Structure 1
Amino acid sequence: PHPTLRIGTAVAGFQLAVTIEDNGVGIPTEILDKIYLPNFTTKVEGLSLGLGLGLTIVQRIVAEHEGDIRVISKPGCTRFTVLLNLPNRKP
């Protein structure tokens, strides 16, 4: 299949959900709990650029806004969901 990236938004109650989903190979379950760690990368040294900081930075920014980031991954589909509280709405 052709590479596909889907981006969506939804409002539920007092939260905004932003989802980013692709149809790639997925994230192996054995590394899924490590993807937010600083300096963790699956990039092969010398073949591509990557410091292993991207998701660490995203997680910190989301946390600074009192939000949450979640990931679900399996072969053929990885979905990240960012949940942010909306201003002027109460839980």
Structure 2
Amino acid sequence: VVFSGGGGQPPVPCEKSEIQQVLFNIFKNGAEAMAMGGTKAPQFTIRYVVERGMVGVEIRDNGPGFSKPLRKRLFEPFFTTKPVGTGTGLGLSVSYFIIVENHGGELTAASRPGKGAVFTVKLPTQERIE
């Protein structure tokens, strides 16, 4: 895991356990994708993001990535790329609901097949809410 940026961000009102669940889901999916895809030296890179009254993290992996049509379905309930019986297809849809609906934030995903995936989680700062 490689970290970059951070320090001095404004306060972000949030439900800690919900944010932990979102991050867990993203890391779990990335780790499983890298393992199933045979990534030789799996790595996550985490970068802090501060923009437009939002604070967040960009989580990048060096796994197999996913196609554009797949990206459009990532946050759908019960959609999974895992073998039958190993995934519920709820992790990312629940994560999307937590970030967007519960916290007024943004959750996005980007990728190029064979080039890894990038998930960005942004939450509004206290200043933006006021």
Q: Is TM more than 0.5 here?
A: yes
Q: How does 1:1-91 map to 2 (within 5 A)?
A: 1-46=40-85, 49-63=86-100, 64-74=102-112, 75-89=114-128
Q: Deviation at 1:70?
A: 1.1
Unmatched segments (≥5 aa) in structure 1: none
Q: CA RMSD in A?
A: 1.8
- Poorly superposed stretches of 4+, deviation over 4 Å: none
Higher-strand-fraction structure: 1
Higher-helix-fraction structure: 2
Q: How many residues align structurally?
A: 89
TM-score (normalizing by structure 2) = 0.62
Name which of structure 1's ranges 20-29 and 4-13 shifts more when overlaid on structure 2: 4-13
Structure 1 residues 59 and 90: CA distance shift in structure 2, 3 A: closer
Q: Deviation at 1:67?
A: 0.4
